Amino acid sequence: MSESKSDGGDCTGHHVAVTEPEVEALVRGICFKTGPPRAVGVELEWLVHEPRRPRLPVTPERLEAVYAALRAVSLGSALTVEPGGQLELSSPPAASLMECVGTVSADLATVRAVLAEDGLGLLGIGHDPWHAPRRFLRQPRYDAMETCLDRTGPAGRHMMCTSASVQVCVDAGHEEPGPLGHERRWWLVHHLGAVLTAAFANSPLIGGRPTGWMSTRQLLWMEIGSGRAGAPPLDGDPRATWARHVLDAPVMCVRRDSGPWEVPDGLTFREWTRSRSPRPPTRADLDYHLTTLFPPIRPRGHLELRMIDAQPGDDGWIVPLAVTAALFDDPVAAEAAHRIVRPLAGRTLNLPAPHNPLWTDAARRGLADPELREAAAACFAAALEALPRLGATTEVTDAVAEYRRRYVDRGRCPADDLLDRLHGTEPPRRRPGPTGGTPTARGRKDVRT
């Protein structure tokens, strides 16, 4: 669902300083807004490329021109640009799965038409397989982010400039216990997230070479570190553990109304509220701080699932959206998903996601991991039973069923296709239907999608 990415035009807004207890109370109120699950959303990131010459970088001038043209068209979703020039569409909250699919599909058709006028297209893949990170946006926000993330190595620049994802957004859930209760959903998403990582892994290459990981994008998030890109422990009330995590997370930057932003080293938000230096933090600083934390599941009133790689094909994004919505918002499927992933919990060693063995195996092996493959098969079966109850069309359920047949039942994920194409071992396959799937790529050794 759409999110504002302010570049600090009102850095010191809400001028009254916030105290540590106030921050904890605000985070508890902001991040988990409970009630019956009614809305669903999706945020789609895409690499922009030239389909006829995909290895040739798109120049900044062409990107600037095409984004200027896109800003002139009417879209139902929010269109934003990522630091490396990736395009992001963020849907408004939708009252149903099919409303969400309809809005975003129409917007994508409009976007693709504008891009095609300049010979450009959208590439659905979790990490650019050819190009090194290159900044497109030069703004104080991203200058500070780059400086901060560089302290932990090159992973941050890759995430900023060469990665893309499908981020599914679901409501936090009921206050009361049960399969749709917010505590159950918080636990479920941190275990089911590993299954989704494995099932939709689609980023095995950097610089045209295999990395040894099916989801290199998820590996890079892990390398950024637990303070910035990790989840809190699951040993308590979600509101309390997330509030502690926010307070103890490092501050990325101290924004200013003019000039470069200060990038402190090791200053947590808790310490900032106590020291009140280099200036006292305000409510606006807290709001911004929340946008600089990148756990695999980010509570923003709703739950934002960030672990799914961008998917191949014009409509490949619909499958993870449909599967996730079914497993979270249909009570029968949610109960089944909880039961399916419970045996996987021991593999976490009680360590927060994604820095535990379960998530590491999911990113490294995908569905070649037997337990993850078994869990994915059961989850897809539960989702397929639930989708008609959520009003999904035959085209959507058929796309999910085809994905299960092509990938899950065979212990594969889209990353396997990319590796097969690289090595020239891709078997012939029938052309996909109008929803889901990837274009045919017989006889090529590049990694087009």
User: What's the whole-number mean pLDDT along residues 67-89?
Assistant: 98
User: What's the whole-number mean pLDDT along residues 113-125?
Assistant: 98
Residue 50 burial (10 A CB sphere; 0-12, 13-18, 19+):
middle
Q: Is the pLDDT of residue 84 over 50?
A: yes
Residue 301 burial (10 A CB sphere; 0-12, 13-18, 19+):
middle
pLDDT per position as a tens digit, 168-227:
999 999 999 999 999 999 999 999 999 999 999 999 999 999 999 999 999 999 999 999
Which one-letter DSSP state was computed for residue 407?
T
Identify the pLDDT of residue 17: 95
Q: Is the pLDDT of residue 298 over 60?
A: yes
The amino acid at 195? V
| Pairwise CA distance, residues 332 & 379, whole Å | 12
Q: Which residue has the tokens 């889901």?
A: 436
pLDDT per position as a tens digit, 8-55:
444 444 578 999 999 999 999 999 999 999 999 999 999 999 999 999
Q: Under a CB-based contact definition with an 8 Å cutoff, are residues 315 and 309 in contact?
A: no
Tokens of 205: 């290459």
Identify the pLDDT of residue 12: 43
Where are any strands of DSSP class E within 260-389? 297-299, 302-309
Q: Under a CB-based contact definition with an 8 Å cutoff, are residues 181 and 173 in contact?
A: yes
What is the value of pTM for the model shown?
0.92
| Pairwise CA distance, residues 322 & 341, whole Å | 18
Q: Express as a percent the part of the chain with pLDDT over 70.
A: 92
| Pairwise CA distance, residues 61 & 136, whole Å | 10
Please provide the DSSP assignment of 270-292 as one string.
HHHHHH--SS--BHHHHHHHHHT
Relative to beta strand 87-90, strand 40-49 is antiparallel
Residue 424 pLDDT grade (very low, low, confident, very high; cuts 50, 70, 90): confident
Q: Which residue has the tokens 């080293």?
A: 265
User: What's the whole-number mean pLDDT along residues 129-152?
Assistant: 96
Q: Is the pLDDT of residue 352 over 60?
A: yes
Calculated CA dihedral for residues 158, 161, 166, 167, nearest 10 degrees: 90
Length of the chain as a residue count? 449
Residue 1 pLDDT grade (very low, low, confident, very high; cuts 50, 70, 90): low
Find all residues with CB under 8 Å of 191, minimum gap 6, and list them.
Answer: 341, 342, 344, 345, 348, 358
Relative to beta strand 302-309, strand 297-299 is antiparallel
* 394-406 vs 97-116: helix crossing angle, rounded to 10: 80
Phi and psi, residue 163, nearest 5°: -120, 160
